[in-house]
Amino acid sequence: MGESIGIRERARGALRGELADVALRLFEERGYDETPVDDIASTAGISPRTFYRYFGTKEEVLFGDLPPTSGDLPALLQDHLTRLGPWESLHQTLRHVAENIRTERGRWSRLLRVVNTSDSLRAGHLEQQMNLAQSLIPTLAPAIQGQAAWRDLRARVLVYTALTCFDTAFSHWAEHEGDIEMLEALDIAFATVPNADSAQS
């Protein structure tokens, strides 16, 4: 029984990936706003109703995989906080995301180009980042030293700064086909910011 469920999940994941590839190609050719769900479904050989079984919205075709999105990041951050300071914990948490995406530079480069052509997509990406920040801030705040009244503020600053480091490093890596590696880009981005762990009081 468990094996059959696993097979179904793999098949579902494969079709979801195929739909995302079809959608991305159409977005590149026609533009995101000019490509309705009906066209994506028709090109993929399925009905619009089937499309919505795999993606709740057209935006989700892009943002469902656009990193960092992992639902386990708060737990991963909490684990790092048992051994590391807040800033380095955020670094290592986002490094985990970077490790999972570094083999698909071409796909991410294409995806970012599509996002950057649409105001609605840029706004959606910002909303995604804000939602992720809100999931990380409550985990980080208790680990912040100093007056309790300022812990939430400091946690917000650190989380948003860390996500900016990730987003900037990710874009730089995806747009360059040279010797730049995602992990290296992320490490350099974090190193550019003075170490907030040593600045806590």
Spatial contact of 166 and 107, defined as CB atoms under 8 Å apart: no
User: Which candidate, 18, 12, 34, 114, places its Cα nearest to that of 66?
Assistant: 114
pLDDT of 177 = 66
More confident residue, 150 or 113: 150
pLDDT of 1 = 47
What whole-number distance in Å separates Cα of residue 34 and Cα of residue 169? 30
Question: Residue 141: inside a domain, yes or no?
Answer: yes
Percent helix, strand and coil across the chain, each rounded to 5? Answer: 75, 0, 25
Contacts of 127 (CB under 8 A, 6+ apart): none
Same domain, 15 and 84: no
| Residue-number span of the structural domain to which 36 is assigned | 2-61
Same domain, 127 and 170: yes
Give the pLDDT band of residue 112 (cuts 50, 70, 90).
confident
Same domain, 90 and 148: yes
Question: Residue 201: inside a domain, yes or no?
Answer: no
Same domain, 110 and 162: yes
Same domain, 22 and 106: no
Torsion of CA 172, 175, 178, 184, to 10 degrees: 30
Same domain, 43 and 100: no
Same domain, 44 and 20: yes
Same domain, 82 and 57: no
Lowest-confidence region among 63-67, 79-83, 156-160, 192-196: 63-67
pLDDT of 5 = 47
Q: What is the pTM of this model?
A: 0.79
Give the pLDDT band of residue 93 (cuts 50, 70, 90).
very high
Domain count along the chain: 2
Same domain, 99 and 143: yes
- Is residue 83 predicted with pLDDT exceeding 90? yes
